[in-house]
Amino acid sequence: MISFYSVREEPYGCFSNFSGHGFKIDGVWWSTSEHYFQAQKFAGTPHEEAVRRAHSPKLAAEMGRDRKRPLRSDWESVKDDIMRRAVLHKFEAHAELRDLLLSTGNEEIVENAPGDYYWGIGRDGSGRNMLGQILMEVRSILRERAQ
């Protein structure tokens, strides 16, 4: 099993959405996958651009979680696809990340986020690990494309 959480953890900290590996989607530059993900909560509004311009992924996350901002009505039904898109673009844009992800073979990838039972495994390991699941999906996509 491959576990990650903090960007400072070697070698898999770069799997975190806070890692400083930017990419373009639809001609727009995103500093991190966290910026993209959080901004999409407000797609088509000025809040999207404000989050995109946040000076750090931590600030982008805080802005995205601020319920004074109007969360898009379909968020729960689209959030997994938005995360999948962000993660795929990140790993497509950076050969060293792509190579590292592919080097994990068929190992299970787990976001060891103690406070997150949706994207991570939570404190007790019972979380859904959706970010880990998406990383494994992206790994399969990249593997197929490399053949």
Give all domains of the chain, ordered by start, each with its CATH number. 2-146 (1.10.357.40)
Q: How far apart are CA 43 and CA 61, in angstroms?
A: 15
Q: How far apart are CA 129 and CA 63, in angstroms?
A: 23
Residue 15 near residue 135, CB atoms below 8 Å: yes
Q: How confident is the model at residue 47 (pLDDT cuts 50, 70, 90)?
A: very high
Q: How confident is the model at residue 41 (pLDDT cuts 50, 70, 90)?
A: very high
Whether the per-residue pLDDT at 133 is higher than 90: the answer is yes
pTM of the full structure: 0.96
Mean pLDDT of 97-125: 98
Residue 15 near residue 112, CB atoms below 8 Å: no
